[in-house]
Structure 1
Amino acid sequence: MQRVLIIQTAFIGDVVLASAMLESLHQAFPTAELDILVRKGNESLFKGHPYLHDTLIWNKQHNKYKHLWQILTQIRRNHYDAVINLQRYAATGFLTALSGAREKIGFDKNPLSALFTKVILHQMGSSTGLHEIERNQLLLYWPETKLSLPKLYPTQSDIHFVEQFKQGKYICIAPSSVWMTKQFPKEKWIAFLQQVPSDITIYVLGGNNDAALCQEIIDRSGNPLSLNLAGKCNFLQSAALMQDAIMNYVNDSAPMHFCSSVNAPVTAIYCSTIPGFGYGPLSTKSYIVQINRDLSCRPCGLHGKKECPQGHFDCGYKIEIAQLMRCLPAS
């Protein structure tokens, strides 16, 4: 085990969870060179990572398949001892099967798994009781590897940047999500901000595309101690800021996994999805908030949707603000 490649080109949260494998592999094989392949835009998660040798980047937005061939060439040149594919799609199966690695490891649900040297049963569903990091860990079948938690490593410049905001008590909220049905309704966020005690600063986090939503929530709440940081903090800076918050309020989305990666306190709000899918918070201090009664339509799918299939979105609107307030530490 001299050089290993991990493939995870999905969304941000999936990549953060994949960082657990870097921890496991480094502990088992401390001299091995560890590489990871991610989609363009996610490479900044691993800036300055102490255990990572190289980050390979697949640009899925521009000349996707031409770039896929270029990535394959790069992979073959690196002469990996093992390629570990966390995904279940043909494109990454193609990279794995033709990698030239001595060991090509992936899940049975990958359409090209017949060409792998080691195939692991993918166990999905609430009945398994497995978290995503445990599912991924099954790919590390070497007895030396032990389950580790995901971990990100904010750089000193990231830590220094957010020090300006760490004055007094504060919470962070991350109100947006790629999927509408994973997103706690903005009206509920507004109502929550109106109830947060006046001695607590609120930092609203997100990307550039989330800035307008975050500002609307702040403006309509009338909370004078709210600051819109959407688009102003990168991934690692956000994680560093969340680490010292008295609480972080997030959807079932990437910021929840940021909290897990730095063991930050977190309240995860589940709307259309459920914790039983295995993507829940891993922080020592973590809470789950969801509707207090069963809905026949929930969950409506493994992933979020662009709109509520039933048109009512009760799984979001019926969550009570008091549920969020109970997770706020007492003064």
Structure 2
Amino acid sequence: MRILIIHTAFIGDIVLSTPLIRALKDKYSDCEITYVTTPAGASILRNNPNISEIIEYDKRGIHKGLKGIYELGKRLRYKNFNMVITPHRYLRSSFLSWLTRAPIRKGYNIATGSFFFTDKIPYINGEHEVLKLLRFVDEKVEKRYEIELYPDKENIKKIQNLLGNIENKKIILIAPGSKWFTKKWPLEYFNEVIKSLELREDIVQVIVGGQDELSLNIYKGKNVIDLRGKTSLLDMAQLAKLSTIILTNDSSPIHIGSAWKKPHIIAIFGPTVKKFGFFPWSTNSEVIEENNLECRPCSIHGGSKCPKGHFKCMMDIKPEKILEKIEATLKKEE
């Protein structure tokens, strides 16, 4: 059984597909799974023992335009897949599925280009993304499947070197970034939390983010380690594994952190809501949101500015509330 998964969405979406990979292996024990994804998606899936091959789909490079996607489709066709699963709901991915000429091509019924699929899977609004994805295996999967990420020895060694001797202190991982402005809890609020925790001797605060977050004017106190721009995605997965608390916006660290039981995830939701299905899969988590605003949700992805101009969905979540949650979690760990 040769199975292809086509998923070229955001990092969080790729992370959330790892339970699907495990469920496919459980159902088809001798199957070989190939995964087509973005270069970033490939980096977070690396070392997964249930994937036989990862193929990078570089839609801005060698696979750009109709010619690029056709060439990739031709390459995939030679592999003679028995089944293609396409969770990505955009035309390019649907068309690529058809180019494989696989006899079974599964995709969501609401996907653009769903006519390219032989089997249309219902997209259930309000259901967690992991449960949606498991519908590609069976209509109802009773077993709970976890998110699986696989940092290797190099990731472990690198994080040990970056953290240095922290004397068994508890790690609070802080991820202040997001691709979308309205998904970002105000930077001054993050800084207030960092300053308030600065004098605690039992913790170390670790700031993470990509190159885009380097421009953020984060407060750097005596117990703050700034690792922005210094970690790969699997490095960050290893950091999350070691953390006691993860404080993050509605962004990929929610899902990366959900791969581990230890960290308590505090996820701050502004323009988005849990009903979209992208809240933490971890049972050791909580979503902080302002529920008394009629304008929520305003967007599934967030935007470059608040449509109403007041940004209350984030501004009304005060640092004091987040500090209470952090202190309560640390007290449980004592």
TM-score norm. by structure 1 comes to 0.92
SS in 2 for 1:9: coil
User: CA offsets, 1:239-276, max 9 Å, x none?
Assistant: 11111211010111101100012333211111111112
In 2: Cα distance, 1:90 partner to 1:145 partner: 31
Alignment of 1:204 with 2:207, yes or no, is yes
**Counterpart Cα distance in 2 of 1:251 and 1:92:** 28
Q: Match of 2:145?
A: 148
Cα distance per residue 1:291-321 (max 9 Å; x no partner): 2x41121111122111111111111111022
Report deviation, 1:141.
Answer: 2.6
Cα distance between partner residues in 2 of 1:288 and 1:141: 29
Q: Find the aligned partners of 1:185 and 1:90 in 2 and give their Cα distance.
A: 35
- Would the aligned equivalents of 1:134 and 1:147 in 2 still touch at CA under 8 Å? no
Correspondent of 2:295 among 294, 297, 311: 297
Query: 1:139 corresponds to which residue?
Result: 136
Which residue of structure 2 lines up, in the alignment, with residue 238 of structure 1? 236
Q: Is the 8 A contact 1:35 1:53 kept in 2?
A: yes
**C-alpha distance in structure 1 between counterparts of 2:258 and 2:313, whole Å:** 24
**CA displacement at 1:83 relative to structure 2:** 0.2
Residue 114 in 1 paired to residue 115 in 2? yes
* Residue identity opposite 1:218 in structure 2: Y
Q: Secondary structure at the match of 2:228?
A: coil
Aligned to 1:54: 53
Question: Quick one: structure 1 residues 72 and 287, their matched pair in 2 at CA, closer, same or farther if it must change by over 3 Å?
Answer: same
Aligned partner of residue 250 in structure 1, secondary structure: strand
**Amino acid of the structure 2 residue aligned with 1:315:** C
Give the Å deviation of 1:146.
Answer: 4.8
1:52 deviation in Å? 0.8
Consecutive unaligned residues in structure 2, runs of 5 or more: none
Structure 1 residue identity aligned to 2:323? M
Indicate yes or no: 2:44 matched with 1:41.
no
1:162 to 135, 159, 164: 159
- Contact kept? 1:172, 1:245, Cα under 8 Å: yes
Match of residue 257 from structure 1? 255
* Paired residues of 1:24 and 1:146 also in contact (CA < 8 A): no
Deviation at 1:132? 0.4
Q: Is the 8 A contact 1:8 1:38 kept in 2?
A: yes
Q: Distance in 2 between matches of 1:45 and 1:120?
A: 26
- After superposition, the C-alpha distances for 1:106-146 in whole angstroms (9 at most, x for unaligned) are 1111232223211112122xxx4x10011111121388895
Which secondary structure does the structure 1 equivalent of 2:52 belong to?
Answer: strand
C-alpha displacement at 1:89, in angstroms?
Answer: 1.1
Q: How many residues are treated as equivalent by the alignment?
A: 320
State the identity %: 28
* Aligned equivalent of 2:73: 72
Please list every run of 5 or more consecutive structure 1 residues that lacks an aligned counterpart in the other structure: none
CA RMSD of aligned residues (A): 1.8
Q: Aligned-pair distance for 1:281?
A: 0.7
Which residue matches 1:175?
A: 176
Give yes or no for contact 1:154–1:239 (8 Å, CA) kept in 2: yes
Aligned to 1:22: 21
Aligned equivalents of 1:326 and 1:281: distance in 2?
A: 20
User: TM-score, with normalisation over the residues of structure 2?
Assistant: 0.91
Match in the other structure for 1:283: 282
- SS at 2:294's partner residue? coil
- Seen in structure 2, the aligned counterparts of structure 1 residues 142 and 303 have a Cα distance that, compared at 3 Å, is closer
State whether residues 47 and 155 of structure 1, in contact with CA within 8 Å, keep that contact through their aligned partners in structure 2. Answer: no
Inter-partner Cα distance in structure 2 for 1:209 and 1:93: 31
Displacement of 1:284: 3.1
CA distance in 2, matches of 1:244, 1:184: 24
Cα displacement (A) at 1:41: 2.5
Match of 1:86 in 2: 87
The question of whether the paired residues in 2 share the 8 Å contact of 1:16 and 1:257 is answered with: yes
Equivalent in the alignment of 2:100: 99
User: Helix, strand or coil for the counterpart of 2:54?
Assistant: strand
SS of the equivalent of 2:78 reads: helix
CA distance in 2, matches of 1:319, 1:186: 12
